[in-house]
Amino acid sequence: QGQLVESGGGLVQAGGSLRLSCAASGRTYSSYAMAWFRQAPGKEREFVVVSGSTGTTSFSDSVKGRFTISRDNNKNTVYLQMNSLNPEDTAVYYCAAGPIATMSREYYEYWGQGTQVTVSS
């Protein structure tokens, strides 16, 4: 059974940076798409970025140019580098894995428990 564990969240001032990590275990993820979603209080969980198994990436417009995703298949770990953070980025960030690189959360089979990111103004 697959398991994803996020880490790296915290409190940061506007304009700062954070790097989130997602450690995957329980299966091989090299053929899976790895994605990040986020959920702010009172809002639905929204797509942030996905890295396909072939290395293709897709970003939401709200983070394009500020966030990058990378994955180390040897370590079964995916990273989310977040730069130029602003208070609107405050949310719980979730790592997800699935067979298809998509923005639709229903196609992801495995989810982490989430890590809180808070950006102060």
pLDDT at position 27, please?
84
Q: Which value, to the nearest 10 degrees, does the dihedral of the CA atoms of residues 30, 97, 12, 90 take?
A: 160
Q: Residue type at 18?
A: L
The residue-averaged pLDDT of 4-21 equals: 98
- Other CB atoms within a 10 A radius of the CB of residue 105 amount to 16
1 or 69, greater pLDDT: 69
- Other CB atoms within a 10 A radius of the CB of residue 88 amount to 10
pLDDT digits (tens, 9 = 90+) for 58-116: 999 999 999 999 999 889 999 999 999 999 999 999 999 999 999 999 999 999 999 99
- pLDDT surpassing 90 at residue 1: no
Helices within 1-71 (DSSP H only): none
Beta carbons of 8 and 114 less than 8 angstroms apart: no
SS percent in the chain: helix, strand, coil, step 5: 5, 50, 45
Beta carbons of 22 and 79 less than 8 angstroms apart: yes
pLDDT at position 28, please?
82
Arithmetic mean of pLDDT over the chain:
96
The residue-averaged pLDDT of 46-68 equals: 96
